[in-house]
Structure 1
Amino acid sequence: MKTNYGKVLLSGIFKENPIFVLFLGLCPTLGVTSSAMNGLAMGLAVVAVLACSNFLISAFKNFIPSQVRIPAYIMIIASLVTIVQMVMEAYTPDLYKVLGLFIPLIVVNCIVLGRAESFASKNGMIASLLDGIGSGLGFTLSLTVLGIVREALGNGTIFGARVAPAAYNPALIFILAPGAFITIAFMKAFLNYLQLKKSREG
């Protein structure tokens, strides 16, 4: 049976979006999306780990005994996270200082381990690579959009650039932890409304 690579890639962005559909990886989502740049950087780090871990796990799936597959997957993921962490610390130290606490948590992020177990361990290397990229991009898109909304409402800026008028009084709650819950709830409600409207029209 021929694999539809386009469908595999797009599934993680829309149909199986980790944040707004599956509600996975909410810990870093709540922690880093106080600004758009932080959300984008965290998302790209997850893309790198997801794509590479899916590819490697798919490549070695026939050599990993089923009894130790989860520890083996975690070892592969942890090695990749360490590489990403070292690269960020070397080339983007300011971002690393903000995200440093959350980067190691990628190892136990249920998105990464979930895709390894449910997809990479059962499919070919190319399909697994694309699945990792798609799920990572879906995660990145969600974090970036959340970061844009929270930063705009809570600070009057987007990616550090002032977008609100000088008279705007920022709603500081949006750059605090409760603001993440509020933003996710309203965005999910809006997406549900669009989906319901589409189904009624269809």
Structure 2
Amino acid sequence: MTSDPRPIWRQGLWDNNPGLVQLLGLCPLLAVTNTTINGLGLGLATLIVLVCSNLAVSALRGALMPEIRIPAFVLIIATLVTVVDLTLQAWLHELSRTLGIFVPLIVTNCTILARAEAFASRQPPLAAVHDGLAQGAGFGLVLIALGAGRELIGQGTLFADANLLLGEWAGGMTLQLMPEGVGLLLALLPPGAFIGLGLLVALRQRLIRQPQTAPAPETSPSAA
């Protein structure tokens, strides 16, 4: 493992993005991303769990016997998710009600357990923290992009209900970009989530596709 964290960040944000490449954690990703703020809230919760679980797993990697490794990882993740869920209920109650069961379901997000097993259990704490931040940020960006697109197309706004996450002062952050009552309801429904994610995946594939240019034919000099 080199001291350069840039490959880790490139993996998490682009090359091995959990939402666009691995297609993990799709249940909460598709269920709550009907607004930008919902996506941001769930993304932050997932990022916190990823970073803390990676750090804990890396710190304990030499103390856990192989037979109990996976159960121990699940216990660590479940404990952290419970802390995050109770914190949301205590301090951001309305947002917690909006996200509902999908915060506790972070426990079942395959990304978190996969990073604990494939990376954090084999790397020092600093690298594990970088991996948690990169993977969490990559997943969170997909949540925000999908939520923003669905909110804009579905109800013509951005940052609606920002006060649920940021407090009462953020109540005026809503941007009304289309007239009220104008929007495509499909975008706010579950099929719209699948369509939106499919478009994001297709956009990434289009961006990484290399132009196929045929090499120029070689010409031999004409005979004298």
TM range (shorter): over 0.9
Q: How does 1:162-201 map to 2 (within 5 A)?
A: 162-166=175-179, 169-196=182-209, 198=210, 200=212
CA–CA distance in 2 between the matches of 1:14 and 1:187?
12
Which residue is equivalent to 1:83?
83
Offset, 1:116: 0.3
Which residue is equivalent to 2:48?
48
Which residue is equivalent to 1:135?
135
| Largest Rg, 1 or 2 | 2
Which residue is equivalent to 2:58?
58
CA–CA distance in 2 between the matches of 1:107 and 1:81?
6
Which residue is equivalent to 2:122?
122
CA–CA distance in 1 between the matches of 2:212 and 2:207?
10
The letter for the 2-side match of 1:184 is L
The letter for the 1-side match of 2:134 is G
CA–CA distance in 2 between the matches of 1:42 and 1:167?
26
Which residue is equivalent to 1:148?
148
- Aligned to 1:24, the other structure's residue is in SS state coil
Offset, 1:162: 3.7
Which residue is equivalent to 1:108?
108
Offset, 1:22: 1.0
Offset, 1:6: 2.4
CA–CA distance in 2 between the matches of 1:25 and 1:121?
21
Offset, 1:27: 0.5
TM-score (norm 2): 0.85
- Aligned to 1:61, the other structure's residue is in SS state coil
Aligned pair count reads 200
Offset, 1:168: 6.5
Offset, 1:9: 2.8
Q: Structure 1 151/5 Cα, relative in aligned 2: closer, same or farther at 3 Å? A: same
User: Which has the higher mean CA deviation after the structures are superposed, 187-196 or 121-130?
Assistant: 187-196
Q: Structure 1 167/128 Cα, relative in aligned 2: closer, same or farther at 3 Å? A: closer
Moved over 6 A (4+): none
Any unmatched runs of 5+ in structure 1?
A: none
- Aligned to 1:192, the other structure's residue is in SS state helix
CA–CA distance in 2 between the matches of 1:200 and 1:118?
35
Offset, 1:172: 0.5
CA–CA distance in 2 between the matches of 1:165 and 1:78?
41
Aligned Cα root-mean-square deviation (Å): 1.5
Q: Structure 1 121/199 Cα, relative in aligned 2: closer, same or farther at 3 Å? A: farther
Q: Structure 1 167/46 Cα, relative in aligned 2: closer, same or farther at 3 Å? A: closer
Any unmatched runs of 5+ in structure 2?
A: 161-173, 214-224
